Amino acid sequence: MNLTLENLSKIIGGQLNGDGKIEIVRLANLETAKTGEISFVEKSEFSEHAQKTRASCLIVPENFNIELPCASINVKNPKLGFAKISEIIHAPERKIGIHKTAQIAENVKLGVGVYIGAFVSIGKTSSVGKGTQIQDGSRIGANVSIGENCFIRANAVVYDNVSIGNNVILHAGTVVGADGFGFVRDAEKYFKFPQIGTVVIEDDVEIGANTCIDRGALGETRIGRGTKIDNLVQIAHNVRIGDRVIIAAQTGISGSTVIEDDCIIGGQVGMGDHARVLKGAVIGSQAGVLPGKIVRSGVWWGTPVQPLDEYKRQNAHLKGISRLKEELKALKKQLDDLKNKPGN
């Protein structure tokens, strides 16, 4: 397919103003875009940059009525249109073939068009779906199922018996399926509680670099369809995460906690075990959710987590304590004066 404005405009369902034959080679920032590049404008406030742009085309909102020095495509959500075009113009490179150094055990099923990079190892009876790319140095255990069109980036590790869907991206250094953290103590030492469950990662999930997703103790840890997880996140055993959940970097979710569909979790959030975050809840960065807590939909903040409004009010109160002290002192003085008046 030619990357003409005519084609791109159709793909994002927009209305083109300008020469549909113009070809686009790259996406760029509004401030730096040059000829052959496309950028976008989210709101009319950025019109000054837009008016000066040297891009070949800008994606603009439907009600955008500022004259531009280039072609434009009107759509409802320009940033979304830009993202959709990116998937076409900047689709990650796909290779085909099995590197001569790769170590693939017996009874491994490889789909058509897979790429298995240098120094990759794949354990016995595993399967890799068509078009999936397993990059250099990654470790795929035994009896692992990986779907189609996945990207397993360099040096990622998938332990035995894990199941991964289609169109999943695991970034470099991510570890899926390590033992959960469970021990039972007797007088002398800790015994390992069995960590013999599995991890299921559904379709369209992306998992950041050096993130850890532990296997279930006896059951499974599950990451729902379309969920996106950032770098250095910890997902403990038996956690269940719903569909289309966003989890920012360095957040940690303790064992058996459930996060329902469409939640947004900030960075460095900590959740105790057996908590439940209900559909669509938003939890601000660095918040702390106590074990067993149920977090209803709405926006939550702080440790222990509370509704954002309450958090703000409490913070305002906190700032007000010193004034409270002064008022109390003044009141005391008045009362003393009153008591010392003749007649009291």
Catalytic positions are 237
> In whole angstroms, what is the distance from residue 176 CA to residue 46 CA?
42
- Sheet of 258-259: strand order equals 109-110, 127-128, 145-146, 163-164, 198-201, 220-223, 240-241, 258-259, 276-277, 294-295
Site string for a copy of itself, 55-74 (x = CB under 8 A): --------------------
Which of 1, 21, 67, 184 binds a copy of itself (CB under 8 A)? It is 184
Alpha-carbon torsion (172, 173, 174, 175), positive or negative: positive
3-state secondary structure of 22: coil
Asked if 220 touches a copy of itself (CB under 8 A), the answer is no
- Closest contact distance (angstroms) between CB of 256 and a copy of itself is 11
Q: Please, which residue, 71 or 213, has the CB nearer to a copy of itself?
A: 213
Using CB under 8 A as the binding rule, whether residue 137 contacts a copy of itself is answered as: yes
Which of 24, 28, 134, 152 touches a copy of itself by CB under 8 A? Answer: 28
Q: Is 191 a binder of a copy of itself (CB under 8 A)?
A: yes
Residue 44 in the binding site for a copy of itself (CB under 8 A)? no
Contacts to a copy of itself from residues 199-218, by CB under 8 A = 204, 206, 208-210, 212, 214, 218
**Residue 228 tokens, joined:** 């996106």
Q: Does the N-terminal peptide bond of residue 194 adopt cis geometry, omega within 30 degrees of 0?
A: no
Contact indicator for 99, 121 with CB cutoff of 8 Å = no
DSSP 143: T
Decide: 60 and 41 in contact? Cβ < 8 Å. Answer: yes
**Contact call for residue 35 and a copy of itself (CB under 8 A):** no
> Which tokens hold the place of 128?
């890799």
Give whichever of 112 and 318 is closer to a copy of itself, judged by the CB atom: 318
Single-letter code of the amino acid located at 96: I
Q: Which helix (H) or strand (E) holds 225?
A: none
What x/- string results for residues 305 through 324 when contact with a copy of itself is judged by CB under 8 A?
--------xxx-xxxxxx-x
Give the separation between CA 15 and CA 146, rounded to whole angstroms. 39
Strand partners, 40: 59
Give the whole-angstrom CA distance, residue 310 versus residue 318.
12
Give the residue, chosen from 285, 293, 297, 308, that forms a contact with a copy of itself under the rule CB under 8 A.
285
- Under rule CB under 8 A, residue 292 binds a copy of itself: no
> Which of 232, 258, 277, 283: binder of a copy of itself (CB under 8 A)?
232
Cβ 51 vs Cβ 30: under 8 Å: no
Interacting residue with a copy of itself among 20, 111, 113, 267 (CB under 8 A): 267
Shortest Cβ distance from residue 309 to a copy of itself (Å)? 13
Return the amino acid letter for 74.
Answer: N
Which of residues 192, 292, 294, 299 is near a copy of itself by CB under 8 A? 192
Query: Closer to a copy of itself at the Cβ: 19 or 343?
Result: 343
Does position 296 interact with a copy of itself (CB under 8 A)? The reply is no
Question: According to CB under 8 A, which one of 25, 118, 294, 299 is a site residue for a copy of itself?
Answer: 118
Amino acid at 303: T
Could you say which residues in the range 72-111 bind a copy of itself, by CB under 8 A? 77, 79-80, 82-84, 86-87, 90, 99, 101, 103
Which region among 43-51, 52-60, 292-300, 330-338 touches a copy of itself (by CB under 8 A)? 330-338
Alpha helices in 146-238 (DSSP H): none
